[in-house]
Amino acid sequence: MDSTIQEKQFTQLYAEESDSIFRFCYFRTSDRDVAIDLMQETFLRYWEVLLREGKKVENKRAFLFTIARHCIIDWYRKKKTLSLDALVGETDADVEVFMETTVSRKEIEMEHEARFLMEKIRDMDPLYQQVVYLNFVEGLAPKEIADIVGESSNTISVRIHRGIKQLRKLAGYDETHHHEK
């Protein structure tokens, strides 16, 4: 494929997906500047992996989220190099769970409903946060999320199911809770 066409496609993909990748990075890191850097790194890696190495992927969006997830994990590993000796050899999923308990939050300006929901998602069990965010906010299908986090579709479906239940409870929208009152 002609390199000019590839660059045009890359620019088009950036125009369509940069905001969602930025939001995802912000959601995971709670730092706007870091999120912008990670978004940039995500697209750089995409260019390297997809175009220079000639790999073909059907779902570019899910692939971008996969790269973003790895960028976030790498960022966190570097950030906590000194204090994370115990995590050496641990899986990406372990790092993600640990990350939830330690990142400091630098909130950006957003509307009340957005802040409320984002806080509630972040208060959820780490196992469910990412899948609920990707499904409920970014509209990714269980199969796409399964590809991103490296689990089966069934596992992701169960996590979404349980996660949304938990989210409703945390947000105070649990119907059972109201009835019991």
Partner 1 sequence: MMRHTTMKNNSLHQGAQKIRAITLSPKEKAAVLARLLEHVAQHPARIVSPWRVYVSQFRFEVAMATVLVMLVTGGSVASAAKGALPGDLLYPVKISVLEPAQGLFVTGDVPRAHWAALKTVRRLEEAETLAAQGRLNPSVIEAVKNNFEKSANEFNAIVESAQTGGSSEQIVDASVDFEARVNAHAQILSAVGQGPGDSQTDDLSSLRNSVEENAHKAREQRASATARFLKRGEQEGYASSTESRRREASQTRSSEDDRTQALFDDRVHAIETMITSTEGRLHDATSSVSTTTSSVQEGILRNVPETLRAAEDALKEARQRQDSGDADKAYSALLDSESAAKQADTSLEQGLRWGKEKDKEKKENEDSKQRSGDRQRFEGGEGD
> Between 40 and 59, whose beta carbon lies closer to partner 1?
40
CB of 114 to partner 1, least distance (A): 3
- Residue 70: name the closest of 42, 99, 47 by CA: 42
30 binds partner 1 (CB under 8 A): no
Q: Which of 59, 80, 117, 122 binds partner 1 (CB under 8 A)?
A: 117
Residue with token string 């570097």: 78
Residue with token string 């969602």: 20
95 binds partner 1 (CB under 8 A): no
CB of 121 to partner 1, least distance (A): 9
Residues 156/142, Cβ–Cβ less than 8 Å: yes
What is the chain's Cα-based Rg? 18
39 binds partner 1 (CB under 8 A): yes
Q: Report the C-alpha gap between 107 and 79 in whole angstroms.
A: 19
Burial of residue 155, with CB atoms counted within 10 A of its CB: 0-12 exposed, 13-18 middle, 19 or more buried: middle
54 binds partner 1 (CB under 8 A): yes
Residues 167/124, Cβ–Cβ less than 8 Å: yes
> Between 95 and 171, whose beta carbon lies closer to partner 1?
171
Would the CA dihedral through 164, 165, 169, 172 be positive or negative? Answer: positive
72 binds partner 1 (CB under 8 A): no
For partner 1, the binding residues (CB under 8 A) are 1, 3, 6-7, 10-11, 14, 18-20, 22-23, 26-27, 36, 39-40, 43-44, 47-48, 51-54, 108, 110-114, 116-118, 125, 127, 136-138, 142, 151-152, 154-155, 157-158, 160-162, 164-168, 171-173, 175-176, 178-179
